[in-house]
């Protein structure tokens, strides 16, 4: 996998007419589309690294859409997958959603219904990307802390004051305050409250770095 995408709608379907139709639909509202005739072709060249989603036909020759979905999940890919299904595939698609698919759209689809799901999938992936970037940045900040600063940082995440940190770590309040200021500086914030706010939406990723 070598190709990167930038807010891209991927489409995998063995039906050329379907690929052309969805490409035209997506591009009509200013989004980018890239299509593949098979699951194998998609796996060979595509490596999503920016907000994107995948519109995926369930039934295809060779590797099926559901097998591709399982393969992507096994690789840790997080792009939202919208399954295109016929009427008989709906129970299968519902089961696949339990296993990680974002949604399914039944053929023949309404243009606006498919666009709505694509836009929702892209929005979800944008949010996921922001969380990943935040977690990475905070993790880098955690890695700059000295061992003592890390102990102080852990106490700060509980909302402890400098005096409480000093008692817990058996250091002087002045030393605790110096370490506290160093932690705030490294995270580029000015208060413990602001530090806590950084970690609230990311479910404390720094704790997972320990």
Report the predicted TM-score, pTM, of the whole model to 2 decimal places.
0.72
DSSP assigned state of 191:
S
Give the pLDDT confidence of 178-209 residue by residue, as tens digits.
999 999 999 999 999 999 998 875 444 334 43
pLDDT greater at residue 147 or residue 92: 147
pLDDT above 70 for 1: no
Q: What is the mean pLDDT of the chain?
A: 86
All domains in the chain, ordered by first residue: 8-131 (3.40.50.2300), 144-208 (1.10.10.10)
Asked if 69 and 77 touch (Cβ cutoff 8 Å), the reply is: no
Give the pLDDT confidence of 38-60 residue by residue, as tens digits.
999 998 877 766 789 999 999 89
Q: 33: Cβ–Cβ under 8 A, 6 or more apart, which residues?
A: 8, 9, 10, 11, 22, 23, 26, 27
Give residue 115's Cα distance to chain centre: 20
pLDDT above 90 for 14: yes
Which of the four pLDDT bands, split at 50, 70 and 90, describes residue 123?
Answer: very high
């Amino acid at each position: 996998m070598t190709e990167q995408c930038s807010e891209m709608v991927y489409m995998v379907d063995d039906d050329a007419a379907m690929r052309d139709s969805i490409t035209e639909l997506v591009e009509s509202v200013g989004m980018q589309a890239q299509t593949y005739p098979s699951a194998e072709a998609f796996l060979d060249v595509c490596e999503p690294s920016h907000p994107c989603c995948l519109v995926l036909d369930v039934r295809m020759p060779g590797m099926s859409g559901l097998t591709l979905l399982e393969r992507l999940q096994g690789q840790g890919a997080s792009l939202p997958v919208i399954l295109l299904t016929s009427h008989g595939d709906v129970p299968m698609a519902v089961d696949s959603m339990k296993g990680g698919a974002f949604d399914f759209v039944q053929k023949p689809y309404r243009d606006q219904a498919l666009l709505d799901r694509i836009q929702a999938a892209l929005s979800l992936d944008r949010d996921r990307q922001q969380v990943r970037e935040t977690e990475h940045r905070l993790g880098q900040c955690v890695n700059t802390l000295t061992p003592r600063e890390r102990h102080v940082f852990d106490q700060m995440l509980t909302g402890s004051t400098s005096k409480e940190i000093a008692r817990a770590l058996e250091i002087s309040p002045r030393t605790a305050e110096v370490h506290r200021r160093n932690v705030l500086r490294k995270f580029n914030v000015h208060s413990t409250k602001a530090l806590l706010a950084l970690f609230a939406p990311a479910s404390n990723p720094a704790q997972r770095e320990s």
